[in-house]
Amino acid sequence: MEARDQRTIARILKVNHAGEHGAIRIYRAQIWVARRLYPDLLPFLTETIGHEIEHCRLFLDAMPQRQARPCRFMGFWGSGGLILGVATALMTRQGIWICTAAIEAAVHRHLDDQLHFVRDRDVQLHALIESIRGEELQHLRTAQENIVARTRWTRFLTAIISWATDVVIWLSTSGDSRKMAQDLAAARLATG
């Protein structure tokens, strides 16, 4: 494999691992609030955090053989996730669903791009990302089904969270995510 492709694959793992770490913190914060205010949401939230913990471990395990190292700013992801999780959960229970839908939609977009890139380059990683994407899609669908009305507020909050997610990804990976996106886009163009 070309060195550039190898670097991109290492970046994919670094960004995904950090993202899962952030997701764990978001769900942990939401669980903390839901225990007090919306106990009916706990079954979904506890099942989902279990998935994210497993995803985080799987991405970490896939790193050494691909010369990838965890992001140096994991604390940043952790605090960002906690703040976002608490802030949206305290709004209303709709805040939890809107936040979850926005985050999971961003995750889904990223994984789709990555699958396209790794398909012919790393079969093992392709299988791993595909199996994880199945669960992320389940999180996204559940959240979307629970959003009762698509108001201007929903769109505004979704836009803010999507933007914040991209900024956190960019900052915490020192621009790696942008380079990764460029390489993924180039690969898409090359293969059509």
First vs last C-alpha separation in the chain: 20
The least CB distance from residue 74 to Fe ion, in Å, is 15
Query: x-or-dash pattern for Fe ion, window 7-26, by CB under 5 A?
Result: -------------x------
Phi-psi region of 175 (alpha: psi -120 to 50; beta: other; left: phi over 0): left
Q: Are the C-beta atoms of residues 118 and 183 closer than 8 Å to each other?
A: no
| Identity of the residue, 2 or 97, whose beta carbon is nearer to Fe ion in the bound complex | 97
| Identity of the residue, 120 or 145, whose beta carbon is nearer to Fe ion in the bound complex | 145
Question: Is residue 122 within the footprint of Fe ion (CB under 5 A)?
Answer: no
Question: Is residue 62 within the footprint of Fe ion (CB under 5 A)?
Answer: no
The least CB distance from residue 153 to Fe ion, in Å, is 23
Instruction: Name 64's Cβ contacts closer than 8 Å, sequence gap at least 6.
Output: none
Which residue's C-beta sits nearest to Fe ion? 55
The least CB distance from residue 56 to Fe ion, in Å, is 7
The least CB distance from residue 60 to Fe ion, in Å, is 12
Instruction: Specify the stretch interacting with Fe ion by CB under 5 A; choose among 50-58, 66-74, 118-126, 173-181.
Output: 50-58
Question: Is residue 136 within the footprint of Fe ion (CB under 5 A)?
Answer: yes
Instruction: Name 49's Cβ contacts closer than 8 Å, sequence gap at least 6.
Output: 24, 27, 28, 31
Interface residue with Fe ion, options 139, 161, 176, 184 (CB under 5 A)? 139
Structure tokens at 78: 């952790």
Q: Which whole-number Å values give the CA distances from 73 to 10, 16, 67, 141, 153, in the listed order? A: 16, 13, 18, 30, 31
Question: Is residue 55 within the footprint of Fe ion (CB under 5 A)?
Answer: yes
Instruction: Name 26's Cβ contacts closer than 8 Å, sequence gap at least 6.
Output: 81, 82, 84, 85, 99, 100, 103
The type of residue at 48 is T
Question: Is residue 52 within the footprint of Fe ion (CB under 5 A)?
Answer: yes
Question: Is residue 110 within the footprint of Fe ion (CB under 5 A)?
Answer: no
User: Could you list the residues that contact Fe ion (CB under 5 A)?
Assistant: 20, 52, 55, 136, 139
